[in-house]
Structure 1
C-alpha cells in the first residue's frame, strides 16, 4: 500500500507532519528519521489498536480512536465503529499517522503556537465525533419505544435492537478507554483548562451513553415482555374456548353414542332439552369467568 502524505504544515514554532495510509517501509523511514520507537510504529499500523499513552524521553506517543461509522450500518466491533490516529509529539514537531482520512485533519486554518495547542484541538475534534451517533441512538430508542407501546410491536426487529444495544455498549467502552488515556496526558498550565474541558465532555458523553445503554436494555426487556404478553393472551383465549366447549363436547359425545338403551333418544323433546342443558352449562361457565374476572 502506498502512503499518501496528507499534510506537512509549518507553524511558527513547530511542524506538523500527517501521514495517511502509510506502508511499513515508509514508517520504518519515519522511525529512523525522527528516532521513534519501532514497537510504537508497529502499534500505529495495527488496525484495531486500543487507545494508549506512552511517555518517551524525547517525545510522547498517543493513540486515540474517533467514531467514523454510522448507526445504520449495523457495525458491532471497535474496528467497524471507529478508526485510530497515532500521535508522536514533542515541543518541536507532531507526527500523526492514520489509515482512514479524517475531514477535521484536512481543514485546519488556525495558527497554533505550540504542539500542545494543536494536539488538544485534534483531541477535541475526535471527542466531538461521538456526539452525532449518540443523538442517532437516542432517536432510535424513542422510535422503538413508540412502535412497541403505541403501534405494532411485531414491526420492531429483534436484530435491530441487538445492534443498537451492542453499538451503544462498545462505544461507551471506547469512550471509557479514551477518558483513561486523556487522564494520563500532561499539558502546560495554559492548556489545562482546555484539557479539562475535554475531560468534562468525555464524562458527559459516557453518562449519556450509559443512559442510552440502560434504555436499550429496558427496551429489549419490554419487547420480550410485550411479546410474552401477546402469547399469554393467545393462550388465555384458547383456554377460554376450551373451557366452554369441553363440557359441551362431553354432552354431545354421550348422546352421539346411539346405544339402544338410551331413553332420551326417543323423547319427543330430547333434542331441545339437550340443547338447553348445553346452553345452561355455557351460561354458568360464562358467569363463573366473569366473577373470577378472567374475561
Structure 2
C-alpha cells in the first residue's frame, strides 16, 4: 500500500483530517477506522462525481467541486474544469478527501471553534475559485466584441467562441448543482449567516455566468450578421459592376461579329459614336443607381 498524504490538525473542540491522493486500499482502511459508509468512500474515489449531500446517523457526507482549470486550456468537461473534495463531518471531526492539491487547504488557521465553522470556510473558498474564470470570460467577451466591431471580424475564431460558450455553460450547470447541495446543508444557528453568504455568492455567480452565456450567444449572432453583411456588400458590388458592363459587353459583342453587311463598320466616326453610346449608357445606369440610393 502506498503512503498517503494525510495531515491531522487538532483544534480545541474537534480534529481535522485532510487526506490527499488516497488509493482504494487506503480509503478502505480509513472507512474501517472512522466507520464510514463503503459507498460514500467509493463516491470519494470517483473522479467525475457531481456535488451531493447525504446525512447519516453519525456524520454528514458532502461532495463539492472547485474550479481548478484555466479558460485558456479549452477544457469542456466537468473533470477537466474542476476537482472535487469529499467531506465527512460531525461535531467531533472533519475529514476531507481529495486527489488534487488545493492552496486554500494549506492556509487554514487554528481559529475555528467547531467543525461546521471550518466546513463553511472551506466551502466558501471553493466557491471563490469560480470568480477568476468568470473575470477571464468577461475579458474574452469584451475582446471578441471589440474585434468584431472595431477591428477585423475575420480575425475572430469561431473555435475560441465555441469553447468560451461550452466552458461557461458547463461551469454554470456545475454551480447550479453546487447551489442545490448547499441548500441541503444544515448548520448551527451561529453559522447560518456565513452559509447564507455562500448561497448569495453562488446566486451572483450563476447570474453572472448566465449573462456571459447570453453575451456569447449575442456575439455569435452578431458575428454571423456581420459576416452575412460583408457577403451582401460583395454581392452588391458585383451586381453593380455587372449592371455597368453587361450592356457595354452586349454592344462590344455585336460589333465584334465580323459580318460583311454591317454598315456601321464603314462609318468614319463609327468607333467614336459607339464609345459615346457606351458612355451615355454608363451615365444613365449610374444616375439610376444614384436615384435608387443603391450607390
TM-aligned CA deviation for residue 112 of structure 1: 1.0
Q: TM-score, normalization: structure 2?
A: 0.98
Match in the other structure for 1:186: 186
Separation in 1 of the partners of 2:63 and 2:69? 18
Matches within 5 A, 1:123-272: 123-272=123-272
**2:109 alignment partner, SS class:** coil
Cα distance per residue 1:189-244 (max 9 Å; x no partner): 11111100100010011111111111111011111111111111111111111111
Q: Contact conserved, 1:258 with 1:265, CA < 8 A, in 2?
A: no
Q: TM-score, normalization: structure 1?
A: 0.98
> Within the alignment, does 1:275 sit opposite 2:269 as a pair?
no
TM-aligned CA deviation for residue 3 of structure 1: 5.1
TM-aligned CA deviation for residue 6 of structure 1: 4.1
CA RMSD in angstroms, aligned pairs only? 1.0
Match in the other structure for 1:71: 71
Separation in 1 of the partners of 2:108 and 2:31? 26
TM-aligned CA deviation for residue 250 of structure 1: 0.6
Match in the other structure for 1:42: 42
**Do the aligned partners of residues 127 and 269 (structure 1) sit closer, same or farther apart at CA in structure 2, a change above 3 Å counting?**
same
Separation in 2 of the partners of 1:145 and 1:242? 35
Separation in 1 of the partners of 2:231 and 2:3? 58
Separation in 1 of the partners of 2:236 and 2:126? 54
**1:110 alignment partner, SS class:** coil
TM-aligned CA deviation for residue 92 of structure 1: 1.0
Q: Contact conserved, 1:2 with 1:21, CA < 8 A, in 2?
A: no
Q: Which runs of 5+ in 2 are unaligned?
A: none
TM-aligned CA deviation for residue 293 of structure 1: 1.0
**1:261 alignment partner, SS class:** coil
TM-aligned CA deviation for residue 110 of structure 1: 3.4
**2:91 alignment partner, SS class:** coil
TM-aligned CA deviation for residue 18 of structure 1: 0.8
> Within the alignment, does 1:291 sit opposite 2:291 as a pair?
yes
Q: Contact conserved, 1:3 with 1:20, CA < 8 A, in 2?
A: no
Runs of 4+ in 1 over 6 A off after TM superposition: none
**1:7 alignment partner, SS class:** strand
Separation in 1 of the partners of 2:2 and 2:52? 26
Cα distance per residue 1:41-87 (max 9 Å; x no partner): 11111111100001111111100000011111111111111100000
Q: Contact conserved, 2:5 with 2:20, CA < 8 A, in 1?
A: yes
How many residues are paired up?
Answer: 295
Match in the other structure for 1:11: 11
Q: Which runs of 5+ in 1 are unaligned?
A: none
**2:86 alignment partner, SS class:** strand
Q: Contact conserved, 1:85 with 1:97, CA < 8 A, in 2?
A: yes
Q: Contact conserved, 2:11 with 2:110, CA < 8 A, in 1?
A: no
TM-aligned CA deviation for residue 182 of structure 1: 0.2
Cα distance per residue 1:67-122 (max 9 Å; x no partner): 01111111111111110000011111111111100000011123211110000000
